[in-house]
Structure 1
Amino acid sequence: SSPLRGEAGVLPFQQEEYEKVKRGIVEQCCHNTCSLYQLENYCN
């Protein structure tokens, strides 16, 4: 069993939530400038 999968065998996060975070970091740190602190906030 993969350590990323829960007991039901599904990933513990929803794909749409991941996409939301992914879009956020691209908009904030690629299209605009962001500080190192803001960038680190995306890294748990």
Structure 2
Amino acid sequence: MTRRSSPVIPAASAISIASLTMASSILRRAVFWLLSSSAIAYASS
């Protein structure tokens, strides 16, 4: 039984890890922007 699909798994895991880190950074930036905008709106009111 030849395992021809073995190099696909590390590539998929690397892609998923990269997309996960990119999504987490985007989420962190969105949360920071939301907090800062809400703080500015609260301070200006």
If the length of structure 1 is used for normalisation, what is the TM-score? Answer: 0.42
Larger relative helix fraction: 2
Of structures 1 and 2, the one with the larger relative CO (CA 8 A, separation 6+) is: 1
If the length of structure 2 is used for normalisation, what is the TM-score? Answer: 0.41
